[in-house]
Structure 1
Amino acid sequence: MRNAFFANAEGVFFIFNKILAPRLQGRPMKGSFQMNRKWIALFACVILCISVFAGCAQSEPAASVSAEAAQEASVSPSELAAQPSGSAPAAGVSVTDMAGDEVTVEKADRIVSLTPAGTEIVCALGAAKQLVGIDAYSNYPEITQSIEIVGDFNGPDVEKVTALEPDVVLAGTGLQQDAVDKLGEMGITVVVVEATAFDDIPKSIELVGKIVGMEDVAEQVTADIDAAVKSAQDNQPSEEKTVYYAMSYGDMGNWTSGPGSFINTMIELAGGKCITADQAAPWIEYSLEDLAAADPDIILLDSSMGSTEALAEVAGYKDLTAVRNGNVYAIDADVFTRPGPRIGEAVLEISEILNK
């Protein structure tokens, strides 16, 4: 079952090889990466979106939340992420991971997280000090700055991971299959914890909660997300507004989200209408002609692509209603595309934008 779960990696390779790689050649090094920061951000986001969106198309619409879940929790996910570490379960636990595999985790005193969402979940549950290794894009909360990096978007470095002697490795999808298989062959416990649909985010958080022995905290975090969704649904704007998510534009191509994606799901939960709702895939390159014809009321701009003012000067965008009316809003892709504890904050931010 795990191989089928990772099959969407082919989509990542296709987009990188056919669209991004030719444009990256000859760009200067920056830090430890071979790419300009903006191109890294775009490709990282592509990986996140394809891996996350791959299972979304067949998912059921977001379920309505209960009144109990809608009650506000005393601590937000962001605050939880910064709290001191908890402790691992005293005895081993058996779990069914997000790939559908049965895994026994003997202990979780030493954790390696291979996805930003997995890292954020561990921290939000109060187990940050159990993290001994993380991926290069795990940049939140602040404590991650002091944790060893074990790989970048090409996948984890198996030697670095094994050298850390982890009790458990929390994995995702995308380009990690080979490394995950090798780790498994070496006897290292690997659990796939990344959600592939909006509705699966609470399951992912509860799964990690069981692994680290913080199930009560996991319930609180998921309750916060449910409360955020209910708040957004209860405060939908009286007039329908059309929305477009600009993940990239210009030389990078007009890439955006489609049906089944996290972004579209959150826009719809908050009462907006996605102009890409009739598209065939959750991740698409949208033509400027179609964008002009749809003429959205609101544009959500990936913050890694620069300022809203810069977008307003680009041909094909500057004459759009959203641009002319000043309704272009920069959003943080780290918050909006990671299937983790901050997704409720993203829903509320969209709700606030729609109600302006």
Structure 2
Amino acid sequence: MKKLLVLLLTVLVALTISACGAGNDETKKDSSAQKASSEVENNENSDTEPNEEGTDKVTVYPLTVKDATGLELTFEKAPERIVSTSPSETEILFALGLDDKIYGVSDFDDYPKEALTKSKVGGVSKPNEEAIIAADPDLVIGGISMKDDIVEKFRGLGLTLYKTEPKKLDDILNNILQIGIITNTQEKAEELVAQMKKDIDAVTEAAATLKDEEKKKVYIEFSPGWTVGKGEFMDELITLAGGINIASDMEGWNAINEEKVIQDNPDVILYTAEVVDDKSGKPLAELITSRNGWEKISAIQDGNLTGIEGNIMSRPGPRITDALTQMAEAIYPELFKK
């Protein structure tokens, strides 16, 4: 679990730095991400065609796509040797049936179990360039934690690097579709996204039956002392499930204000399961319930605390709708019956 905590904190630091650089830089990033998402639709229409049997879609090469940095990348053929520096994107690649084309993954990649057999290429924010070069990839995928200077460094080494930066659920779905187009696995990508959309619809349709006065206040602590506000997919998951995130008055990832949490008095508390606080040595659930004054919080008094596996909740990949379903069941067990 120490690796999980390190990964969560790594992601947190990267996102917090990004959030602190609001303004023109952030606007440019959001614009680039939106362009990358819209590029999916364009590619689906103009760069695909039926195969000889007229059933499955195939990618037409050369293919030009735009990633979250706004850079256009051209592929002459489907990548044969792929390195993923992000657990989320690794899960996408495996879900698309690309196991035999994955030649490197990050040190934190542990799902599916086959990812454990792949060569390791270092951390998610600063991968090992020697290990990546040794893998001789024709595609490197960088995730949400990879900083811009690292992206440029790898591109300067002649590597074809496709960067993702999902902020919303739609970004995650679009990433899956886009990677499917790049790797000529569109049929599987579309099937996966269709199933994920069914999961989303099942939750949102049930949540739509809630009256405003029935909606519960939710506090989420994904790493000891840290929560998330609006503008990130964890906040969106709470909203889609019909909850009200008490941190939605803040942007991005934030250190918690213990007094504010008491004042907001959440009805439900969600936290990352099995995480242990390095400072106190306490499991996160115990840390939360033992804070001074928090015994007054309705969620703690009523025992409405639920731990969710960190990898599912924090990775913007194929299992993110599993996290949505689990959140919905935790917030409204009477509405979302297992």
Q: Which category of TM-score, normalised to the shorter sequence, fits these structures?
A: 0.7 to 0.9
Quickly say closer, same or farther: Cα 1:129–1:46, change in 2 above 3 A.
same
Per-residue Cα deviation, 1:275-332 (whole angstroms, up to 9, x for no partner): 11222x1111221111111110000012224353453233243332111111011112
Q: Which of 32, 44, 56 does residue 10 from structure 2 map onto? A: 44
2:242 is aligned with 1:268: no
Aligned to 2:117: 146
Q: 1:113 aligns with which of 84, 95, 105?
A: 84
Q: Which residue of structure 1 aligns with residue 104 of structure 2?
A: 133
Q: What does residue 229 of structure 2 align with?
A: 258
- Choose which of 164, 167, 187 in structure 1 pairs with 2:135: 164
Q: Report percent identity of matched pairs.
A: 29
What is the rounded CA distance, in whole Å, between the counterparts of 2:142 and 2:3 in structure 1?
A: 24
In structure 2, how many angstroms separate the alpha carbons of the residues matched to 1:313 and 1:347? 27
**Counterpart residue number, 1:308:** 285
CA separation of 1:52 and 1:272: change in aligned 2, threshold 3 A: farther
Contact 1:105-1:168 at 8 Å conserved across structures: no
**1:188-267 alignment runs, 5 A limit:** 188-236=159-207, 238=210, 239-249=214-224, 254-267=225-238
- Counterpart of 1:46, as a letter, is L
Change (3 A) 1:104 1:49: same
**Amino acid in structure 1 at the alignment position of 2:314:** T
Q: Is the 8 A contact 1:295 1:320 kept in 2?
A: yes
Alignment partner of 1:143: what SS? Answer: helix
Deviation at 1:162, TM superposition (A): 0.5
Question: Does 308-317 or 134-143 show the bigger shift?
Answer: 308-317
Count of residue pairs brought into register by the alignment: 289
**1:317 maps to which of 294, 297, 318:** 294
Q: Deviation at 1:120?
A: 0.8
Give the match's secondary structure for 2:295: coil
Query: 2:15–2:145: 8 Å Cα contact kept in structure 1?
Result: no
Q: Runs of 5+ in structure 2 lacking a partner?
A: 32-57, 277-282, 334-338
CA distance, structure 2, for counterparts of residue 182 and residue 295 of structure 1? 46
Q: Report the Cα distance in structure 1 between the residues aligned to 2:107 and 2:200, rounded to whole angstroms.
A: 30
1:202 Cα deviation from its structure 2 partner: 1.4
Q: Pairwise mapping of residues 170-181 of structure 1 onto structure 2 (< 5 A)?
A: 170-181=141-152
**Separation in 1 of the partners of 2:125 and 2:11?**
13
1:182 aligned partner: 153
Report the Cα offset of residue 115 of structure 1. 0.9
Is 1:277 matched up with 2:248?
Answer: yes
Higher relative contact order (CA 8 A, sep 6+): 1
Q: C-alpha root-mean-square deviation of aligned residues, in Å?
A: 2.7
Q: 1:171 & 1:326 partners in 2: Cα distance?
A: 40
> Given that residues 228 and 252 in structure 2 are in contact (C-alpha distance below 8 angstroms), is that contact kept between their aligned partners in structure 1?
yes
Alpha-carbon contact 1:336-1:343 (below 8 Å) kept: yes
Q: Deviations over 1:88-141 (max 9, x none)?
A: 979543222232221012331110001111111111111122110011122211
* Distance in 2, Cα, partners of 1:263 & 1:301: 12
Distance 2:16 2:179 in 1: 22
Shift of 1:154: 4.7
1:204 Cα deviation from its structure 2 partner: 0.5
